[in-house]
Amino acid sequence: MFGCAAYSGQEDFLNIITQEVKYNVIRLNNHPSIVVWSGSNENEKALHDGWFKNPLKAIQYSDYNSLYISTVFKTMTKFNGYNTDWIDSSPSNGLYSKNPYIKIWGDPSSNDAGDNHF
């Protein structure tokens, strides 16, 4: 649903996303081909590498956290539980913990943690 772009962290947008995530998690929750849920495609990499050329990078990190962690992840776990495999973006360094949510920041292309795109 989210890929290769910067998305807003504004409350009105996040409210719409909450409803969409709820609908899709309930609809797809027991589908046998879903092995991992992901918040975005390449948005952590884009944020890390500065693809968006925004001088207010702190706002982009805040919006990223608001969207993928506070909204998408929180809504997904509400309807799917914490046992679901989850990454907030692919590629990503992954997580130390889902509850409490502790993310591994750094270069998402690192071979030291998480997944990688070749």
42 is catalytic: yes
Q: Residue 24 class from Cβ within 10 Å (0-12 exposed, 13-18 middle, 19+ buried)? A: middle
CA–CA dist 87, 103 (Å, integer): 9
> C-alpha dihedral over 111, 71, 32, 93, to 10 degrees?
0
Give the active site residue among 11, 20, 42, 44.
42
Identify the helix (H) or strand (E) that includes residue 64. Answer: helix 57-64
- Of 89, 104, 95, the closest CA to residue 51 belongs to 89
Region at 77 (left for phi over 0; alpha for psi -120 to 50; beta for the rest): alpha
Catalytic site residues?
A: 42
